[in-house]
């Protein structure tokens, strides 16, 4: 990473952080799709955000100048950082009162970065990257096709990371224009967003927009006339698919983080799902699918009254605005996730068929859905009891696991598949005897492994 760049400063701040950055490599065609999706969402919504962007070279800004004229009509303020090598200050967009241009010095490392940072009162989004160096490209050198160029960095919807980056960008702008930096700081403070404030409708809509753009980019890439234009066609295709997967994982991560009482739900349910799959001797592909369903299980916004699921603030708002939101069916945009969508669609089915979802019963309910129903409820029960004991300053973990299991066992044969409850009992016995199930967050930037 370039010394003194915004990406490097953010990475250094998180070097020994409990929450390290999910850095990865992105092809330019992926970044173009991501940025256009996020920009078009601004054009289609009423968010009136603050936008701070950096273009690797001034000529890239000129390609987007008309688009930024439209964005300026929707945004409160746009600050554009780029080296003044293409005369873009003369473009009509630069004359708009809410557009500020920061002419970066040629030696400024930010002049080599590609950033798009969006902050509104209801959602945040960010792309933060810089191109690989000549040394990073290796002996093959820079690719001939522009869209095959590689960038290192990450993108996210997380308010705290976006706000941290905004602060770094404003501090950098302060060295060029103190008055503008002060104005941007004031606007940023007014729009400061946290996880609880994020709008479910906007978050789900922007995720759908991102995935739709990436999927469209894949369709264009698969055009027979296009395939021969690229030396790394398979890599480009995988990079697009990986970022579609990342979009869903990032949304699931934010849904977890809105639930301060159970912020590890997805990873713990995924871990329990793997353990259950291994205990049932399921094939490796099915265990992997069960893990992915566990990571995404809170994307299903079911309002069933008999569900034990604890809904987060984002989910609760979504239930009040169901017409605005795709539910787990949004996953069907990706062909690889249609099976996962089906699992999530049926995760609240009741074993004896008395539920009010699809009315499936017994073995007609997909096995993974039955497993997910049980382990998600069990995980929620364990967490609720653990929080209660910690609040009362009692010794934790001694009674929480068996008590949570007893609650599930009482519903075997009605809510839950009794065979699966028996399997869960074996896991509980193992946990009581010291077996540990290590839950961990997936490396989001490497999401392609989940699809293979």
- Does 314 lie in the same domain as 167? no
- Does 90 lie in the same domain as 176? yes
Question: What predicted TM-score, i.e. pTM, was given to this entire model?
Answer: 0.78
- 76-87 pLDDT, tens digit per residue, is 999 999 887 656
pLDDT-based confidence at residue 309 (cuts at 50, 70, 90): very low
Cα–Cα distance between 143 and 423 in angstroms, integer? Answer: 53
More confident site: 172 or 390: 172
For residue 232, is it within any domain? Answer: no
Q: Would you tell me how many other CB atoms lie within 10 Å of the CB of residue 358? A: 13
Lowest mean pLDDT of 72-76, 100-104, 317-321, 338-342, name the range.
317-321
Q: Residue 92 maps to which CATH number?
A: 3.30.870
Mean pLDDT in residue range 16-26:
80
pLDDT-based confidence at residue 12 (cuts at 50, 70, 90): very high
More confident site: 409 or 192: 409
Q: Residue 398 maps to which CATH number?
A: 1.10.3210.10
The encoded tokens of residue 289 equal 């699918």
Domain count, the chain: 2
- Does 256 lie in the same domain as 189? no
Range of the domain at 138: 6-193
Query: What is the longest distance spanned by two Cα atoms in the chain?
Result: 73
For residue 406, is it within any domain? Answer: yes
Question: Does residue 343 sit in helix, strand or coil?
Answer: helix
Sign of torsion, CA 242 239 49 191? positive
Mean pLDDT in residue range 193-202:
67
- Does 398 lie in the same domain as 316? yes
- Checking if the pLDDT of 423 tops 90, the result is yes
Query: At which of 193, 212, 235 does a domain end?
Result: 193
Q: Cα 40–46–48 angle (5° rounding)?
A: 85
- 217-260 pLDDT, tens digit per residue, is 877 777 655 555 555 667 777 778 778 888 888 888 888 877 87
For residue 83, is it within any domain? Answer: yes
Distance of CA 361 to the CA centre of its chain: 33
**Average pLDDT over the chain, rounded to an integer:** 81
Lowest mean pLDDT of 33-47, 187-201, 350-364, name the range.
187-201
């Amino acid at each position: 990473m370039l010394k003194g760049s915004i990406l490097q400063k953010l990475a250094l701040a998180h070097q020994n952080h409990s929450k390290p950055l999910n850095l990865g490599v992105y092809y330019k065609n992926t970044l173009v799709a991501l940025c256009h999706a996020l920009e078009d969402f601004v054009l289609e919504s009423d968010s009136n955000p603050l936008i701070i962007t950096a273009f690797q070279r001034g000529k890239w800004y000129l390609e987007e100048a008309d688009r930024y004229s439209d964005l300026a009509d929707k945004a409160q303020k746009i600050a554009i950082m780029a080296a003044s090598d293409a005369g873009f200050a003369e473009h009509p967009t630069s004359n708009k009162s809410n557009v500020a241009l920061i002419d970066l010095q040629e030696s400024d490392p930010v002049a080599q970065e590609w950033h798009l940072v969006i902050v509104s009162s209801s959602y945040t989004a960010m792309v933060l990257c810089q191109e690989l160096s000549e040394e990073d490209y290796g002996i093959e050198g820079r690719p001939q096709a522009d869209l095959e160029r590689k960038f290192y960095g990450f993108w996210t919807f997380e308010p705290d990371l976006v706000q941290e980056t905004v602060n770094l960008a404003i501090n950098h702008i302060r060295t060029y224009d103190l008055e503008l930096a002060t104005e941007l700081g004031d606007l940023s403070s007014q729009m400061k967003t946290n996880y609880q404030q994020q709008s479910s409708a906007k978050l789900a809509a922007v995720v759908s927009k991102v995935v739709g753009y990436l999927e469209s980019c894949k369709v264009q890439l698969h055009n027979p006339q296009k395939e021969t234009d690229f030396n790394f066609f398979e890599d480009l295709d995988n990079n697009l698919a990986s970022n579609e997967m990342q979009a869903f994982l990032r949304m699931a991560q934010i849904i977890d983080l809105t639930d301060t009482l159970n912020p590890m739900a997805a990873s713990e349910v995924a871990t329990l799902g793997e353990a259950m799959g291994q205990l049932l001797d399921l094939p490796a592909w099915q265990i992997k699918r069960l893990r992915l369903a566990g990571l995404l299980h809170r994307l299903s916004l079911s309002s069933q009254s008999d569900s034990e699921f604890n809904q987060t603030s984002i989910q609760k708002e979504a239930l009040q605005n169901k017409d605005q939101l795709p539910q787990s069916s949004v996953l069907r945009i990706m062909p690889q996730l249609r099976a996962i969508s089906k699992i999530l669609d049926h995760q609240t089915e009741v074993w004896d068929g008395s539920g009010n979802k699809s009315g499936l019963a017994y073995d007609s309910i997909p096995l993974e859905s039955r497993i997910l129903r049980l382990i998600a409820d069990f995980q929620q029960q364990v967490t609720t009891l653990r929080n209660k004991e910690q609040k009362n300053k009692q010794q934790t973990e001694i009674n929480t696991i068996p008590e949570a299991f007893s609650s599930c066992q009482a519903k075997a044969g009605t809510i839950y598949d009794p065979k699966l409850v028996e399997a869960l009992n074996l896991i509980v016995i193992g946990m009581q005897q010291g077996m540990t199930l290590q839950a961990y967050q997936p490396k989001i930037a490497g999401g392609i492994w989940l699809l293979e």
